[in-house]
Structure 1
Amino acid sequence: MRSALIVYGGWEGHDPEECATIYRRWLHEDGFSVRTATETSVFADPSIHDLSLIVPVYTMSKIAKEEAENLTKAVQGGVGLAGHHGGMSDAFREAVDYQFMVGGQWVAHPGNIIDYTVEVTKGEDPIMAGIPASFPYTSEQYYMHVDPSNEVLATTTFSGEHADWIEGVVMPVVWKRRHGQGKVFHMTLGHQAKEFENPNMATIMRRGMNWAARGE
């Protein structure tokens, strides 16, 4: 049986506990054994190297050096990593090794909650199969610093309405990548837990977690 660890906490504005509950239900339904933790100290536990998947839901906050080192080594060794929005890509701002692993870091969301469009760039990928070529979305439109080695599955284009100097910038929304032997999946959608009610968002995230997870 595949095993997963969900670690949630940090800034409450991203509904970490509610999101962790959704993830836990999905993973149970998909055949994982699941445990949860609310302290980053779990990342220093040697047992995480035996997991199939780690799901961080931990916006901002801090991570100790030994915790970050053990986490990144676990993923390099084959443990999958998957998550969404600031719970994964705005976690542990001072931990550059963590950001290197994730493949991106949030830096802005001009206009805050706005209407924008998500464009699927790799509809042939199994994670994106059946997802509309483009779909409307209402949330924070994340402006990211991203790794050019990411395999981008969906993007969004900034209108310039809220920051005219970024008009026309195409920004990754969904990507997957490798970090050592581990698979990493990230989606920038999902400012609040209610967004998991969007079927496109939920389908992409659930498939991404299953893709990232190490098989038995």
Structure 2
Amino acid sequence: MREALIVWGGWSGHEPEQCATIIRDFLEQDGFKVYVENTTEAFADPSIHDLSLIVPIFTMSKIEKEEVSNLTAAVRGGVGLGGFHGGMADAFREAVDYQFMVGGQWVAHPGGIIDYRVDIAKPDDPIMEGISAFPYHSEQYYMHVDPSIEVLATTRFNGDHAPWIDGVVMPVVWKHRYGQGRVFYSSLGHVSSEFNVPEMKTILRRGLNWAAR
């Protein structure tokens, strides 16, 4: 049986506990044995090297050196890493090794909660299969990204809230390798109610399954 660890915490505005419960439920439906922790100390446990998947939901906050060292080593060794929105890509802002592993870092969401569109960059990828461009109402993440990531979906900024980025096309969903580990990320999912958007939930669910060894 595949085993997954969800570690939630950090800024409460992203509803990490509620999101952890949703992800736990669908991973269990997909055949995972799921462990849930709410402290970064879980990342320092040597047993995480035996997992199939780790899902961080921990916006901002701090991570200790030994915690990030063990986590990145586990993923380099083949453990999958997957997550969404600020819970994965705005976590541990001072930990550059963590950001290198994720493949990107949030830097802004001009306009706050707005309407925008998600475009599919790789419709033939199994994670995106059958999903067409769709409207979305949430934070439109502007990110600094690793040029080596494989971009699966994008969004275009219209410049209404930051004119100097008018027309910029930004990755929304990506995957890449970190050592032997598979890493998946989606910037969708500001709060738990966004899991009611079928495209958002389907993309994340498929992506987490892809990441898991």
TM-score by length of 1: 0.98
Deviations 1:12-37 (A, max 9, x none): 00000000000000110000000000
* Alpha-carbon distance between aligned partners in 1 of 2:74 and 2:12, rounded to the nearest angstrom: 27
Tell me the secondary structure at the aligned position of residue 152 of structure 2. strand
Structure 2 unpaired stretches of 5+: none
Q: Find the aligned partners of 1:163 and 1:34 in 2 and give their Cα distance.
A: 41
**2:135 corresponds to:** 136
Deviation (angstroms), 1:114: 0.1
User: Could you say which residue in structure 2 is the equivalent of 1:126?
Assistant: 126
The DSSP-based 3-state class of the residue aligned with 1:204 is: helix
In the alignment, structure 1 segments of 5+ residues that lack a partner are none
**Please, what is the CA RMSD of the aligned residues?**
0.3
Match of 2:12 in 1: 12
Residue 111 of structure 1: how far off its partner (Å): 0.1
Q: 1:128 & 1:20 partners in 2: Cα distance?
A: 23
- Report SS of the residue matched to 1:66: helix
Partner of 2:80: 80
1:161-213 Cα distance to aligned partner (Å, 9 max, x none) = 00000000000000000000000000001100000000000000000000000
1:87 & 1:35 partners in 2: Cα distance? 17
Q: Which amino acid aligns with 1:100?
A: F
Cα distance in 2 for residues equivalent to 1:185 and 1:30: 17
Whole-angstrom CA distance in 2 between matches of 1:122 and 1:141: 20
Give SS of 2:19's match. Answer: helix
Question: Is the aligned partner of 1:96 residue 2:99?
Answer: no
Quote the residue 1:30 is aligned against.
30
| Aligned residue-pair number | 213
Q: Aligned residue for 1:211? A: 210
The correspondence of residues 1-216 of structure 1 with structure 2, limited to 5 A, is 1-132=1-132, 134-214=133-213
SS, match of residue 114 in structure 1: strand
In 2, Cα distance between the equivalents of 1:20 and 1:191?
Answer: 13
State the percentage of identical aligned residues: 72
TM-score, structure 2 length as denominator? 1.00
